[in-house]
Amino acid sequence: MEMTAKILIVEDEGIEALSLQQKLKARGYSVPEIVYTGEDAVKKAAQISPDLVLMDIMLHGEIDGITAAEQIRAHFDIPIIYITAYADDDTLKRAKITEPYGYIVKPFKERELLISIEMALYKHKAEEALRKAHDELEIRVQDRTSELQEVNKALQAEIEERKWAEEALRRARDELEIRVQERTAELARSNAELEQFAYIASHDLQEPLRMISGFTKLLERRYKGRLDSSADEFIAYIVDGAARMQRMIEDLLAYSRVGTRGKPFELTNLEAIFEEVMTNLKVAIEENKAEVTHDPLPTVMADAAQMIQLLQNLIGNGTKFRKREEVPRVHVRAEKKGDEWIFSVKDNGIGISPEFMGHLFQLFQRERTADEYPGTGIGLAVCKKIVERHGGRIWAESEPGKGSTFYFTIPDRQ
């Protein structure tokens, strides 16, 4: 043990105190002070901060050793050993409360005292080390805790931020959704109005037009050859123009009817539709000596009459826009992809120029004159309207001089 331990002796019997000091010094302890009263003991303890106090209990003066020990322990962490002749129960009880490191009853053997001193010093040191370790641990725990709290706070902030961003995103999406819905409704409304207008206009135009063409025909029949030759020519133009206009108006009516006269969708076997289309196109196909073939075709939810119109337009175009020198061939296919069917109508005809591609599906847009290839240019516009009514898309690919392929999709919603 530490041999230079500093010991304060509190003992009012002068001779005894000195002899004790001698003995301890001889054992290598440092004993700088001897005090004789409790008051002095408290004072000296504060001044020299000894490693140990040997405290007599019965002292002259105001306070006894136990009270002095109480006061010392209240302010300093100094181990105390009582040395006393009095070991009655009351004294013991009072002494015990001050948590002494030893209690030696006079007379005692020197060896007994030394063991008590060493034990006290050792115990005190061990306690100190333990306290220090405990404090360090405490600090580490606190550090870790506050570190964790920081991290926690940062995380919390991040969560808040993310929540906020998500909320903002959701709000923006909802707003957009509402705007899209509004725009869609608006568009549907104005579309319906326009369709209604086109329908009424076309319908009402038919009557005066019928009158014009009727009376010009009459004029032609009655006065042909009776007026001069220019007049005959003019009348022929009027008849021709009126007929063309009539066809266009009929086409326009057919176009409006896609939306207004559509039937509810029902299971429609496209094999049967194909056969019907072939019957309708029989004359044209035979005239052109065309070959129209197809892969197996599915059954889909659709408006059967419109499916006929659609395929008839596409196959009709395929055989019509033929190259003079080649047998026209048209092939129809269907392929399931995801939740829709992709149909294709492929021909080996004259093809479509890249510049015209953008006008393909517009009303009355044609790349060739009616003299070259008959028609008014309504077919593909009707096709587009039909496909879109069914929730699909339509487009074309073509290489001028090589042929064209028209594609359209129909959702598979059996």
Ligand X SMILES: Nc1ncnc2c1ncn2[C@@H]1O[C@H](COP(=O)(O)OP(=O)(O)OP(=O)(O)O)[C@@H](O)[C@H]1O
Q: Among the candidate windows 33-41, 42-50, 136-144, 349-357, which touches ligand X by CB under 6 A?
A: 349-357
248: contact with ligand X by CB under 6 A? no
* Residue of the chain from 38, 102, 328, 375 that contacts ligand X (CB under 6 A): 375
**Whole-number Cα distances in Å, 62 to 8, 35, 37, 69:** 19, 14, 8, 14
Q: Which residues bind Mg ion (CB under 5 A)?
A: 317, 379
Residue 180 C-alpha from the chain's centroid: 21
Report the partner that residue 318 touches, choosing among ligand X, Mg ion, none (CB closer than 5 to 8 A by kind). Answer: ligand X
Please name the helix (run of DSSP H) or strand (run of DSSP E) that holds residue 257, with its range, or none.
helix 229-260
* Residue of the chain from 347, 385, 394, 408 that contacts ligand X (CB under 6 A): 347
Number of residues that bind ligand X (CB under 6 A): 22
Strand-strand pairing, 266-269 and 340-347:
unpaired
38/349 with CB nearer ligand X: 349
* Residue of the chain from 104, 310, 360, 394 that contacts ligand X (CB under 6 A): 360
349: contact with ligand X by CB under 6 A? yes
Cα distance between residue 250 and residue 254, in whole Å: 6
Residues 108-137, interacting with ligand X (CB under 6 A):
none
Q: Among the candidate windows 168-176, 222-230, 261-269, 347-355, which touches ligand X by CB under 6 A?
A: 347-355
Q: How far is the CB of 276 from ligand X (least distance, A)?
A: 18
Tokens of 169: 């995103």
59: contact with ligand X by CB under 6 A? no
Report the partner that residue 350 touches, choosing among ligand X, Mg ion, none (CB closer than 5 to 8 A by kind). Answer: ligand X
**Whole-number Cα distances in Å, 108 to 7, 9, 112, 113, 222:** 18, 16, 7, 7, 164
**Whole-number Cα distances in Å, 50 to 11, 41, 129, 245:** 16, 11, 18, 126
Cα distance between residue 83 and residue 108, in whole Å: 9
Report the partner that residue 100 touches, choosing among ligand X, Mg ion, none (CB closer than 5 to 8 A by kind). Answer: none
352: contact with ligand X by CB under 6 A? yes
379: contact with ligand X by CB under 6 A? yes
Tokens of 281: 């196109």
Report the partner that residue 366 touches, choosing among ligand X, Mg ion, none (CB closer than 5 to 8 A by kind). Answer: ligand X
104/252 with CB nearer Mg ion: 252
Nearest-CA neighbor of 351 among 371, 328, 377? Answer: 328
Specify the amino acid at residue 258.
Answer: V
64/367 with CB nearer ligand X: 367
12/250 with CB nearer ligand X: 250
66/352 with CB nearer ligand X: 352
Tokens of 21: 């000091």
Q: How far is the CB of 315 from Mg ion (least distance, A)?
A: 10
Cα distance between residue 404 and residue 397, in whole Å: 6
Q: How far is the CB of 403 from ligand X (least distance, A)?
A: 7
Q: How far is the CB of 171 from ligand X (least distance, A)?
A: 45
Q: How far is the CB of 287 from ligand X (least distance, A)?
A: 15
366: contact with ligand X by CB under 6 A? yes
Instruction: Supply φ then ψ for residue 75, to 5 degrees.
Output: -110, -30
Instruction: Supply φ then ψ for residue 269, to 5 degrees.
Output: -80, 110
Cα distance between residue 98 and residue 100, in whole Å: 6
Look at residue 89 and give its three-state secondary structure. Answer: helix
What is the sign of the dihedral through the CA atoms of 251, 256, 257 and 262? positive
Residues 312-341, interacting with ligand X (CB under 6 A):
313, 317-318, 321
Q: How far is the CB of 272 from ligand X (least distance, A)?
A: 23
CB burial of residue 331 (10 Å; 0-12, 13-18, 19+): middle
404: contact with ligand X by CB under 6 A? yes
**Cβ atoms of 390 and 343 closer than 8 Å:** no
269/344 with CB nearer ligand X: 344
Binding residues for ligand X, rule: CB under 6 A, are: 313, 317-318, 321, 347, 349-352, 360, 365-368, 375-381, 404
